[in-house]
Chains A and B, each alone.
Chain A
Amino acid sequence: MAPGNAITFVKRASVLGIIIVLFHPIILFVIRAGGLDLTDILISSAFWKALWFTLYQATLSLLLSLLIGLPGALWLSQYRGKLKPYIHAFLTIFLMLPVIFVILGFISLFGEESLINKFIFLISGEKLHILYSFPAILIAHIFYNVPLVIKIVSRAWEETGKTEEQAALLLGASRLKIFTSITLPKLLPPTIAVSLIVFAFCYMSFAIPLILGGSPSFSTLEVLIYEKARLELNLKFAMGLALLELLVSLLFFWTCTRFIHKYTFIPSHPSKVVARSKVSVSFKIYLFFISLFLILPFITLIAETILGLSSTGSILKTTLIHPLSVSLLVALSSGIVATSLGLLSSLLIRNLPEERMYDLIFFIPMGISSLFLGICYLISYQKFILHGWGIMVLIVLHSAINFPFAYRIIRGSIVKLSPQIWQAAEHFAPKWGIRLRYVTFPLLKTSVINAFLITMALSLGEFNATMMVAGGRLKTIPIIIYELLGSYRLESALFIGLVYTLIAFFIFYFVERRGSYVTPS
């Protein structure tokens, strides 16, 4: 075997190893369930209806989130002020917010009894029905996803310089031409990367469309899966639905990545943005409103939590400590595992002929119903869980769920780098370890830290799959919040949620600060 071939083989084997370790429960589950008959599903009108609605709301939510988030990302990528780590830590919070809190936040802001509505009622005698309508679904999805768009895209844009634009300007190109042919293609890969994530979130969303939509006609495919699995015990039908759900999301993915490769422009060398464009008045107004929109639900919710504090009672002392340490331990470990594996696999697959196929494979877990992910891991690891290894299973499960996010974020950065950089690095630093230490890591540092923060935040908020594995003493804070809500204890749930979010905020802030201090040589 030629040395080149041997290296390729080792790379492939390692990637395969990662796939097997993280995702074998999914493979096993499919094998175990046997052949699936999809004809029943394809002739069911409920399926087509749910599919159409799911795609419709997800696409619309995605487009609006991009429209509202991208200008913010542009601003943040150029912002160099002191508030930066706070802003980034705040934007990360949204990834871990339990759905019910977002809904309650919206209720206190726009609900039937909200100040806004009372005011409108005073002057017009009519209440404004903002919630429980289709736009309310979009508003909530925008609220959830705009921070993610701003965070991921601004970080990626920070790494993109303006050298090419300046050169083009000198050569006499028009501003429009420069924007469409240079700037836009440069900004596209991270935008597409975040689009895939936002789409996956909205596509899998089910409580928000149902509750804020106000009617079961706003049921997504996930609701249909629950109906078949839980109510009718028709696991085969439900699995078939999950499979179709996955296939459709893969189709979306495929379209997006084709777009990336067609329109991407790779700058010859990375440089930091130095020039800072002046912030216009209209942009300031935009920034004001977007901040208000993102911050207000927190303020109203915090106010109401403090008002309801008297009835939280003694439950907190005993309940909080253990699940909090479980949550933090699982989030930290799975964040590290998911990010390292994301980095490792995106480096391993670079330049393999089937490079793009892995993009598709690693997208699969993002398109699988979290209900099934949980079940898969439960079946494979049940014995471990029963023998007290539950926390390890939880770490592996969270790593598997969040790995695709880390992979996408880091891969988005790698795709953006010019091949010349790698060639130069290989030439000057033939040793792999040295290259990693002095070239690869510094180049990818921002996206690695970003991936770590995002996977950690996702793990802190993970609920659906965790519920399958958790039990007994093994409980995370989101599970405790759910249990409190399930036993009339709304005030305690809100209070614990608030404390948890605050703790997370400080962790994110700490990582952000540390991250920006370590400057590569």
Chain B
Amino acid sequence: MKVLKFLFILALFSIAGCTRRTSEPPMLTIYTYDSFSTEWGLEPVVIPPFEDICKCEVQVVTVGDGGAILNRLVIEGKETRADIILGLDNNLAARAFELDIFEPYKPKYFETVPEEIWFDPSNRLIPFDYGYFSVVYDSEKLRTPPKHFTDLTSAEYKRRLIVEDPRSSTPGLGFLLWSIKLLENRHEDFWQKLKANILTVTPGWDSAYAMFKKGEAPMVISYTTSPAYHIINENTDRYKAAIFPEGHYIQIEVAGIVKYTKNKNLAQSFIDYMLSPQFQKEIPTKNYMYPANKDVELPEAFKSLPKPKKMLIIKEDILSKKLAKWINGWRQAMQ
């Protein structure tokens, strides 16, 4: 029976092997997160123009979110078909570097990217956009928004904040790291006090924001740029981001060239294109983040948003060493 089983599996694999077709125009494969290729995401506006420029075919493979992309790369290893990985961020960078699969490249438009967001000096991961985590609040329900980070523990906000789980959500992790960067050793005390103000912890940003939008709580962990969505699409400035003078933790989204790529030139030209104004100008209204290229003019809704004066970041090598410990501490503080 065992022999039979293996023969069957073998047969399946050979079928899989035979169906591989040879493509005439060169093909660039991009692994990215889901929201990139939605109808209202970046893909429909940035990929077809690039295909015209490069005279190539671009295959976009969506793989859940940033964390899922990394999982996929761990599983595939050297056999990965990806030429470009798009959609990791500074918090995933350390794990990404451990995999050692990125090829350094210093792209065109390099000088247009603010120095402080170019966090990888060896140019393996190239920023394409960034945003600041923040507490977004409903100004019709919350008269006195918090003015400082530690105000969040104030008794007046009892059961009024929705947070995401740092184990499964990017903003959730961002908020935890924000507290660690600002409060260092005292962050567990902060969480213990914050607990009474947290209505609930959701696995992802989507459910947190849906609950916030339904009015279940007047505060949610999101981005300083979230209000722009409501200004542009719903014509309301009801939802606002609380800006703290101590600074805001940053998320920098990056892309990189996979070193096993057989289309190196094509991959490099895609990275160049990614930082070009044509691609970058779409970022505010598609990703609701700030474009990495500072020369791109922002839409009116973005110009009206307050931008944090100070950005906070934890270096990825420290992050990778301490993350498990921090998560454990968080879990205990939240018990």
A-to-B contact residues, CB < 8 Å: 16, 20, 24, 27-28, 46, 100, 103-104, 107-108, 111-113, 129, 131-132, 206-207, 210-217, 223, 226-227, 229-233, 235, 304, 311, 315, 318-319, 375, 378-381, 383-384, 386-387, 389, 467-468, 470-472, 479, 482-483, 485-490, 493
Q: List 17 A-B contacts (CB under 8 A).
A: A16-B4, A129-B159, A215-B200, A223-B165, A223-B203, A230-B71, A231-B67, A233-B71, A319-B39, A378-B72, A379-B75, A386-B61, A467-B34, A470-B62, A472-B61, A486-B206, A490-B209
Least Cβ distance of B75 to chain A in Å?
Answer: 6
- Does B35 have its Cβ within 8 Å of any Cβ on chain A? yes
The distance in angstroms between the C-alpha atoms of A111 and B217, with both chains bound, is 10
Residues of B within 8 A of A472 (CB): 37, 60-62
B207 to chain A, nearest CB (A): 5
Given A206-B203, A387-B21, check contact A230 B334 (CB 8 Å).
Answer: no
Give A396 Cβ to nearest chain B Cβ, in Å.
11
| A384 and B168 contact, Cβ closer than 8 Å, known pairs A216-B201, A375-B75 | no
Do B39 and A318 have beta carbons less than 8 Å apart?
yes
B residues near A111, Cβ cutoff 8 Å: 214, 216
Find out whether the CB atom of B214 lies under 8 angstroms from the CB atom of A490.
Answer: yes
Interface bits B192-207 vs A (CB < 8 Å: 1, else 0): 0001001111111111
Among A217, A387, A486, the most chain B Cβ lie within 10 Å of the Cβ of A486
Whether B216 pairs with A113 at a CB distance below 8 angstroms is yes
Measured between beta carbons, the chain B residues less than 8 angstroms from A232 are 323-324
Encode contact with A along B245-270: 1 for CB under 8 Å, 0 otherwise.
00000000000000000000000000
Across the two chains, which residue of chain B brings its CB closest to A238?
B71
The reply to whether A210 and B203 contact each other, CB–CB distance below 8 Å, is yes
With an 8 A cutoff between CB atoms, is B215 at the interface? yes
B34 touches A226 (CB 8 A): no
| Bound: A268/B324 CA distance, A | 60
Structural contact, B203 and A383, CB atoms closer than 8 A: no
A230 to B173, CA, bound (A): 12
Among A46, A311, A315, contact of B331 (Cβ-Cβ < 8 Å): A46
Contact A311 B234 (CB under 8 A): yes
CB nearest to A207 among chain B residues: B203
Query: Is B81 an interface position by the 8 A CB rule?
Result: yes
Q: Could you tell me if A230 and B68 are in contact, using CB atoms closer than 8 angstroms?
A: yes
The listed residue (A108, A470, A488) touching B229 by CB distance below 8 A is: A488
A386 to B20, CA, bound (A): 9
State in angstroms the CA–CA spacing of A378 and B288 once bound together.
30
Q: Which residues 1-48 of B have a CB within 8 angstroms of A?
A: 1, 4-5, 8-9, 12, 16-17, 19-21, 34-35, 37-41
Contacts A227-B168, A231-B167, A490-B210 aside, 17 further interface pairs with beta carbons under 8 A come to: A112-B216, A210-B203, A212-B200, A214-B198, A216-B165, A223-B203, A230-B71, A233-B98, A235-B71, A235-B75, A304-B214, A375-B75, A378-B72, A472-B62, A479-B34, A485-B210, A490-B214
Q: Indicate if B280 sits at the interface (CB-CB under 8 A).
A: no
CB distance B207 to A207 under 8 Å? yes
Q: Establish whether residues A215 and B38, one from each chain, have CB atoms under 8 Å apart when the complex forms.
A: no
| 8 shortest interchain CB distances as A-B pairs | A230-B67, A471-B62, A485-B206, A227-B167, A214-B200, A383-B16, A486-B206, A488-B229
Q: Which residue of the partner chain A has the closest CB to B98?
A: A233
Q: Separation in Å of the A282 CB from the closest CB of chain B? A: 36
Q: Does B134 contact A (CB under 8 A)?
A: no
Q: Answer whether A226 and B167 are a contact pair too, CB < 8 Å, given A379-B75, A384-B16, A472-B37.
A: yes
Q: Does B327 contact A (CB under 8 A)?
A: yes
With A235-B71, A387-B19, A387-B21 in contact, do A227 and B327 touch (Cβ < 8 Å)? yes
The answer to whether the Cβ of B95 comes within 8 Å of any Cβ in the partner chain is yes
A490: chain B residues at CB < 8 Å are 209-210, 213-214
* Interface hub of A104, A210, A231, A375 (most chain B Cβ within 10 A): A231
Residues of A within 8 A of B41 (CB): 487
Is there an interface contact between B335 and A217, defined as CB atoms closer than 8 Å?
yes
Chain A, Cβ-Cβ closest to B43: A472
How far does the alpha carbon of A215 sit from the alpha carbon of B333 in the complex, in Å? 11
Contact of B217 among A112, A211, A230, A389 (CB under 8 A): A112
Among A207, A216, A389, max chain B CB count under 10 A is at A216
Bound-complex Cα distance A27 to B12 (A)? 14
Cross-chain contact A487 with B59 (CB below 8 angstroms): no
Is the CB–CB distance between B214 and A487 below 8 Å?
no
The closest CB in chain B to the CB of A31 belongs to B9
- Report the minimum CB–CB distance from A255 to chain B (whole Å): 29
Question: What distance in Å separates the Cβ of A50 from its nearest Cβ neighbour in chain B?
Answer: 10
Determine whether B226 belongs to the interface, using a CB cutoff of 8 Å to chain A: yes
Residues of B with C-beta under 8 A to A468: 64
Contact of B199 among A27, A112, A304 (CB under 8 A): A112
Contact among A107, A211, A311, A487 for B38, CB-based, below 8 A: A487
Return chain B residues, CB-CB under 8 Å to A483: 34-35, 38
User: B185: which A residues are within 8 A, CB to CB?
Assistant: none
Q: Are B210 and A100 in contact (CB under 8 A)?
A: yes
Partner of A210, one of B20, B35, B81, B165: B165
A315 to B229, CA, bound (A): 15
Tell me if B199 and A104 are in contact (CB < 8 A): no
Within 8 A of A (CB), among B66-93: 67-68, 70-72, 74-75, 81
Query: B216 — which chain A residues lie within 8 A by C-beta?
Result: 107, 111-113
CB pair A103–B211 under 8 Å, yes or no, is: yes
A235 and B99 CA atoms in complex are apart in Å by 13
B213 neighbours in A (Cβ, 8 Å): 488, 490
Give the residue name and chain of the B residue nearest to A112 (CB): B216
A318 partner residues in chain B, CB cutoff 8 A: 39
CB distance from A381 to the nearest CB of B (A): 8
B144 within 8 A of A: no
Contacts of A231 in B (CB 8 A): 67, 166-168, 173, 323, 327
Q: How far is the CA of A381 from the CA of B64 in the complex (A)?
A: 17
Mask: chain B, 219-240; 1 = CB below 8 Å from A; 0 = not? 0000000100110011000000
Residues of B with C-beta under 8 A to A210: 165, 200-203
Do A107 and B214 contact each other (CB < 8 Å), given the known contacts A230-B71, A384-B16, A471-B62? yes
Contact of A100 with B201 in the complex, beta carbons under 8 Å: no
A211 CB contacts on chain B under 8 angstroms: 200-203, 207, 211
Kindly state the separation between the CA atoms of A107 and B216 in the bound complex, as whole angstroms: 7
Contact A113 B215, beta carbon cutoff 8 Å: yes
**Cβ–Cβ contact B19 & A384, under 8 A:** yes
Known contacts A472-B37, A483-B38; is A223 also within 8 Å of B71 by CB? no
Q: Which residues of B contact A235 (CB under 8 A)?
A: 71, 74-75
Interface residues of B in 83-121 (CB under 8 A from A): 95, 98
Closest to B21 in A: A387
Most central of A315, A319, A485 by chain B CB within 10 Å = A485
The answer for the CA separation of A375 and B67 in the assembled complex, in Å, is 14
Rounded to whole angstroms, the CA-CA distance of A384 and B217 in the bound complex is 45
With both beta carbons as reference points, the residue of chain A lying nearest to B35 in the complex is identified as: A486
Give Cα A462 to B54, complex, Å: 38
Known: A223-B203, A387-B19, A483-B34. A108 touches B214 (CB 8 A): yes
